[in-house]
Structure 1
Amino acid sequence: MLPCLNKQLFGLDCPGCGLQRSLYFLLHGEFMAAFKMYPAIYPMILLLFFLGSSIFVKFRFAGIIKWSLISLTVGTILVSYFIKMNNLFN
């Protein structure tokens, strides 16, 4: 796996730390371990699936769906990162 440059330089996880390992777990069928490693993996996959399928299929309210999925993904990334950092410093 590729090392995290932020973690190597500053000793702290970045908001993307755990994504590679989560994908590894997901590809090996360990769905709960993937979620525990990086909770935003499922909203991110849903967003990527929607963006990919919207190239070929015209969705009604596509803009609202897209921005809702982006908000859900970013929100999940930030909340899980802040929880991880809070647990690290306590």
Structure 2
Amino acid sequence: MFPCLNKKLFGVDCLGCGLQRSLVLLFKGEFAAAFQMYPAIYPLLILLFFLGFNFFIKFKYDLLIKVSLTIISLLTIVVSYLIKMKFIFN
């Protein structure tokens, strides 16, 4: 797996730390472990699948769906990161 450059240089996890390991766990069928490793894995996958599907088939409210899924994904990433950092620095 690719090492996290941010963690190597500064010793602090980045917002994407755990994504690779979460994908590996997901491919192994360990869905709960994948979520525990990186909680934003499922919103990101839903967003990516929708973007791929929307590339071929257009919807009436596709922009609203894309923006909503992006906001949900970003909020999940930031909130899970803040929770992880709180537990690390306490």
State the partner residue of 1:45: 45
How far apart are the structure 1 equivalents of 2:55 and 2:81? Answer: 31
**What RMSD, in angstroms, separates the aligned Cα atoms of the two structures?**
0.4
Is the partner of 2:12 in helix, strand or coil?
coil
Q: TM-score, normalised by structure 1?
A: 0.99
Q: TM-score, normalised by structure 2?
A: 0.99
State the partner residue of 1:69: 69
* 1:42 shift after superposition: 0.2
State the partner residue of 1:83: 83
Runs of 4+, deviation exceeding 2 Å: none
* 1:21 shift after superposition: 0.1
* 1:59 shift after superposition: 1.1
AA aligned to 1:41 is: I
How far apart are the structure 2 equivalents of 1:72 and 1:31? Answer: 19
How far apart are the structure 2 equivalents of 1:29 and 1:82? Answer: 27
* Ranges in structure 2 where 5+ consecutive residues have no aligned partner: none
**Deviations, residues 17-59 of structure 1 (Å, cap 9, x unaligned):** 0000000000000000000000000000000000000011111
Aligned residue pairs, count: 90
How far apart are the structure 2 equivalents of 1:56 and 1:9? Answer: 41
* 1:60 shift after superposition: 1.7
AA aligned to 1:42 is: Y
Is 1:15 the equivalent of 2:24? no
Is the partner of 1:17 in helix, strand or coil?
coil
Which moved further from structure 2: 52-61 or 35-44?
52-61
